[in-house]
Amino acid sequence: MLLQQYFEVRSPQKLGVSEAKRDECLMQVNGKHYRTVWMEGSAVKMINQLLLPHKFEIAALATHKDTAAAIKNMTVRGAGAIGVSAGYAMAQAFLESSDLEYIENAKKHIESTRPTAQNLFYATNRVFNAAKNSAKQKETAMFQAQKIADEDAENCRKIGEYGSALIKDGAKIETHCNAGWLAFCDWGSALAPIYFAKRQGKKVFVYVDETRPRLQGMFLTSWELLNEGIEHRIIPDNAGAYFMSQGIDMMIVGADRIAANGDTANKIGTFEKAIVAREFGVPFYIAAPTTTFDLKCKTGKDIPIEERSEDEVLSVSELADDGIMKKVMLAPQNSHALNPAFDVTPAKYITGLITEKGIVKPNTVEIKRLS
């Protein structure tokens, strides 16, 4: 059964936020609203996340191969943003050619970029299936890609509405990786309830895991929270247990794929945080739109785990005095590393799943009711 106290009694209309506040655009950079990724003509535009937090720059991607490369090298990252970018890339392929073989090869190429991210496959399949037999392929592909983007932003806003009901005034919350504006079109998943709670007038303090090896918590989440004016501190990944032992009210993280039974793949390190949360009685929530659910994966064992380059572990990138990002080796020469990008948190460690349709328990029966 859906958690009735949040799904019905605390519906979005009863959360204490005006219509204007609910509907205002969230992501403001220097006073201007941006989505993480959008399309202008045949080009895909996106915030270049490889340069944040030190430099804000928009990348312009002319072809589906350019957009696919941006997904793979993490110019754009985060479940929803990857999905939206993949949808736009699929639309670009239809704009580039009416040859079905070309478009099918483009689809395979886009899908090869990030194997764990379920939203990517949702988007490519939706655009491809809608447009392939359409009399107006290009228009249909563009329409579906844009609709995916708009739905992504709206779903995250609803996640913020439902999730904010869990947050008390003065709450101390830990998060891992980045699942905010930059991980979706707007609002985000794990950070959306925090942003919405702020709009309700609640004070929130956030512990931001640095999230090695790519430091998305330090680089991206802290940058978002600074823009939003939310008090926070960056903590080392291995400090989570200490701070939970001192008293944290809840932990909210995102997801890259959720299996039919509630097992959840998220950024590496999430699983160990869930174990620690269980030890100290800290509620552990996953925030994700239903496009992240993969009912074909019966359990987390069926979720493919992306292995990334060992260079991400052995080195870091830093902003040099000349303003150019440079790679600095940290490990001894000739050292090697293992670099799984994700791990799977079993459903038994998860308190609830915050979705755009309400908050559900992580089990097969309740997840199935969302579809």
| pLDDT tens-digit readout, 1-56 | 333 322 222 333 333 444 444 445 567 787 788 999 999 999 999 999 999 998 99
Which residue, chain included where needed, has tokens 């942003």?
195
Q: What is the DSSP letter of 307?
A: B
Q: What is the DSSP letter of 167?
A: P
Dihedral sign (CA 92, 96, 98, 100): negative
Q: Which two tokens stand for residue 46?
A: 């996106």
Q: Quote the mean pLDDT of the chain.
A: 92
* Secondary structure class of 235 (helix, strand, coil): strand
Specify the pLDDT at position 156. 97
Q: What is the DSSP letter of 340?
A: B
Q: Which two tokens stand for residue 80?
A: 């929803």
Closest CA to 305 of 340, 277, 331: 340
Assign 3-class secondary structure to 247-282. Answer: HCCEEEECCCEEECCCCEEEECCHHHHHHHHHHCCC
CA pair distance 160, 188, nearest whole angstrom: 8
**Please, what are the domains in the chain?**
7-156 (1.20.120.420), 166-370 (3.40.50.10470)
CA pair distance 189, 366, nearest whole angstrom: 19
Specify the pLDDT at position 371. 79
* Mean pLDDT of all residues in 322-345: 91
256 is catalytic: yes
Q: Which is catalytic among the residues 152, 186, 256, 263?
A: 256
Does the pTM exceed 0.85?
yes
Contact 84, 185 (CB under 8 A): yes
CA pair distance 119, 350, nearest whole angstrom: 21
The percent of residues in the chain predicted with pLDDT above 90, rounded, is: 87
- Whether the bond into 236 is cis, omega within 30 of 0: no
Contact 198, 231 (CB under 8 A): no
Helices (H), 112-136: 118-131
Residue 285 has pLDDT above 70, yes or no: yes
Amino acid at 40: E
* Secondary structure class of 318 (helix, strand, coil): strand
